[in-house]
Amino acid sequence: MTIVKPAPKARASTETRTLTIRDDSTGETYVLPVEDGAIKASDLAKIPGGSDGAGLLTYDPGFMATAAVKSAITYIDGDRGILRYRGYPIEELAERCSFLEIAHLLLGGELPAEEELARWQDEITHHTFIHENIKKFIDGFRHDAHPMGILMSTVAALSTFYPEAKRIADERARRSQIVRLIAKMPTIAAFAYRHAAGLPYVYPDNDLSYTGNFLNMMWKTTELKYDPDPVLERALEVLFILHADHEQNCSTSTVRVVGSSRSDPYSAVAAGIGALYGPLHGGANEQVLRMLEDIGSVDRIPEHIERVKKGELRLMGFGHRIYKSYDPRAKLIKTIADDVFAVTRRSPLLDIALELEKIALEDEYFVSHKLYPNVDFYSGLIYQAMGFPVEMFTSLFAIGRTPGWLAQWEEGLLDPDQRIARPRQIYTGADLRHVD
């Protein structure tokens, strides 16, 4: 029997769990330690017999069962519909905190005390302006450029404005870039919209809250001072909170992977924005709206459901890699929708969404596949009621997710276990051959 020895434990554990693997081709038995519910892939690799003569690999497209990091930021229990940031339930945070408190919590591990919060807000507020050259840069995009394309490129371009961002080992330099990214993301997103709409840019108003100022940069026209509607301001704030982190999702993993090569945070976050852009991730809220518009009326829902069941389409805003009972964010968002629609016009698409949800939740296909509405199902309707064009939806997600990306980026950098990300492959191509 070969023992693959356990690595020293970071934390004392009261029980030692092991996994015994028998290789039927050799009759050899291997005992692998199980720590935190995982075996180490490097222990598995000590077992000979991999495809290229090396050790055994796991084949895991989409990382369905691979933990690549240890993280103390966000806890999710997908079966029970639980989401916590740094231990706090999302429901309590959404009800009682501001977005900047959440950013502080995700990044530093604790909710800020009153004075700390005042300093943190002040710091973020004083970095909301962008260099005038960035405005010129945004001006260069076509009038119909997608805001996510503008956001991604402009965030990447920020690295050229702050060369000290490369000093990722310097805590103060890291902190400066974190503040800048959180502060400037709404400004860039709003400027991208104003550019597409052919409207003049509106500069940040430092008297307003983080979210109030974003609404100001989006919507201010000729009034001397923009006065955000408090219900809409709070609703958007809660939406930002609900999007602030979601552990190792596609965009966050991208940020970590890029960060693992020690590039600057602007480049890492720009890559994360690229990942978020896709219709299976943050782009889904845009797709939900388009799907509801395509369906057009309640009586056409059964036809749409049939096409989904035949595999011709996916029901956008349904399903989640992790949540298999319900998405707690979707539940909270549904309650926000009521507050928002009390202020704005009720979206005519809401009836279609409600009926679609009702039918899908009763339908055998969706029940057996454990498909429930996710965070994106209702958020698009709220954004639309607030006046945001559909193309802006994913940028709103990106603003909310920025503190999470940065917290995860920094955690990855400071984790001594982490190495440059470099997955393995199983080669399936041609064997050696020669040019005739």
Residues 287, 290, 291, 297, Cα dihedral to 10° = 160
> 272 is written with which tokens?
């994360």
Closest CA to 401 of 257, 245, 192: 245
Please pick, from the candidates 321, 335, 343, 351, the single residue that binds ligand ACO as defined by CB under 6 A.
Answer: 321
User: Between helices 230-243 and 393-414, what is the axis angle to 10°?
Assistant: 40
Distance CA 373, CA 366 (A): 10
What's the min distance (Å) between Cβ of 292 and ligand ACO?
13
Among 32, 178, 308, 382, binds ligand ACO (CB under 6 A): 308
| Footprint of ligand ACO on 17-76 (CB under 6 A) | 62
User: CB 208: neighbour CB atoms within 10 A?
Assistant: 20
Between 226 and 277, name the residue whose CB sits nearer to ligand ACO. Answer: 277
Site string for ligand ACO, 137-176 (x = CB under 6 A): ----------------------------------------
Q: Which is nearer to ligand ACO, 112 or 403 (CB)?
A: 403
Q: Which amino acid is at 229?
A: D
Least CB distance to ligand ACO at residue 209 (A): 25
Phi first, then psi, for residue 422 (nearest 5°) are -160, 85
Residue number, 32 or 185, with CB nearest to ligand ACO:
185
CB of 403 closer than 8 Å to CB of 181: no
Q: State the minimum distance, in angstroms, from the CB of residue 253 to ligand ACO.
A: 12
Confirm or reject binding of residue 284 to ligand ACO (CB under 6 A): yes
- Cα 182 to Cα 402: distance, rounded to the nearest angstrom: 6
Residues 354-413 that bind ligand ACO (CB under 6 A): 369, 371, 374-376
Quote the least distance from Cβ 333 to ligand ACO, whole Å: 11
Question: Shortest Cβ distance from residue 372 to ligand ACO (Å)?
Answer: 10
Closest CA to 4 of 38, 34, 36, 49: 34
How many residues at the interface with ligand ACO, by CB under 6 A? 19
Angle at 296 between CA 291 and CA 302, to 5 degrees: 80
Span from 14-22, 133-141, 313-321, 345-353 in contact with ligand ACO (CB under 6 A): 313-321
Of the two residues 187 and 285, which places its CB atom closer to ligand ACO in the complex? 285
Helix, strand, or coil here: 333? helix
Q: Which residues are catalytic?
A: 281, 320, 376
Which residue among 84, 167, 194, 314 contacts ligand ACO (CB under 6 A)? 314
- 316 lies in the site for ligand ACO, by CB under 6 A: yes
Smallest distance, ligand ACO to C-beta of residue 238, A: 16
* DSSP 8-state code for residue 347: P
| Strand order across the 88-89 sheet | 74-77, 82-85, 88-89
CA gap 142, 126 in Å, rounded: 30
Binding-site member from 33, 186, 319, 404 for ligand ACO (CB under 6 A): 319
Closest of 361, 337, 339, 360 to residue 349, by C-alpha:
337
Q: Which stretch binds ligand ACO (CB under 6 A): 129-137, 211-219, 257-265, 280-288?
A: 280-288
User: Does 281 contact ligand ACO by CB under 6 A?
Assistant: yes
Which residue sits closest to ligand ACO, CB atoms considered? 319
Q: What phi and psi values does residue 295 have, to the nearest 5 degrees? A: -60, -45
Q: Draw the binding track, 203-242, toward ligand ACO (x: CB under 6 A; -: no contact).
A: ----------------------------------------
**If binding is defined by CB under 6 A, does position 7 make contact with ligand ACO?**
no
Q: How far is the CB of 285 from ligand ACO (least distance, A)?
A: 8
Q: Could you tell me where the beta strands, DSSP code E, fall in 179-335? A: none
Task: Please report whether residue 305 would count as binding ligand ACO according to CB under 6 A.
Answer: no
d(CA 405, CA 416): 19
Q: Which is nearer to ligand ACO, 217 or 371 (CB)?
A: 371
Question: To which residue do tokens 């400004």 refer?
Answer: 187
Residue located via tokens 């519909």: 81
CB of 377 to ligand ACO, least distance (A): 7
Q: Which is nearer to ligand ACO, 159 or 374 (CB)?
A: 374
Report the residue from 38, 113, 280, 414 that binds ligand ACO according to the rule CB under 6 A: 280
* Smaller CB separation from ligand ACO, 386 or 398: 398
Cα–Cα distance, 406 to 435 (Å, whole number): 49
Name residue 31's beta-bridge partners.
Answer: 3, 20
How far apart (Å, rounded) are the C-alpha atoms in residues 35 and 37? 5
88 burial level (CB within 10 Å; 0-12, 13-18, 19+): middle
Q: Which of 148, 315, 406, 407 is close enough to bind ligand ACO by CB under 6 A?
A: 315
Binding site for ligand ACO (CB under 6 A): 62, 280-282, 284, 308, 314-321, 369, 371, 374-376
